Amino acid sequence: MVPDPLEEPSYIVCHLGEIMAKRGITLVELSERVGISVVNLSVLKNNRAKAVRFETLARLCAVLECKPGELLDYLPPR
């Protein structure tokens, strides 16, 4: 029987911490520039977010000068 890929766990991984480190920006500075709380950014950075608004994604990409595909990655089921 072929496994249903929708029943297997898959993950979206956020590379926010890595991009912040490359850009030399702190959570506090990013929070101020993007207009998102430090707590919410921390949730994203630690891969605990269940959803991200496109507006939030667009702001992060604008400030960090990156594309959504650099910020987010899809890990398919194993």
Summarize pLDDT for 10-27 with one digit per residue, the tens.
Answer: 689 999 999 999 999 999
Consecutive H or E run containing 13: strand 11-14
Domain locations in the chain as residue ranges = 11-75
Split at pLDDT 50, 70, 90, the class of 8 is low
CA–CA–CA angle 42, 44, 38 (5° rounding): 30
Virtual torsion, Cα 71, 69, 66, 31, nearest 10 deg: -30
Multiple choice CATH, 11-75, 1.10.260.40, 1.25.40.390, 3.10.450.50, 3.40.1350.10: 1.10.260.40
Give this prediction's pTM: 0.84
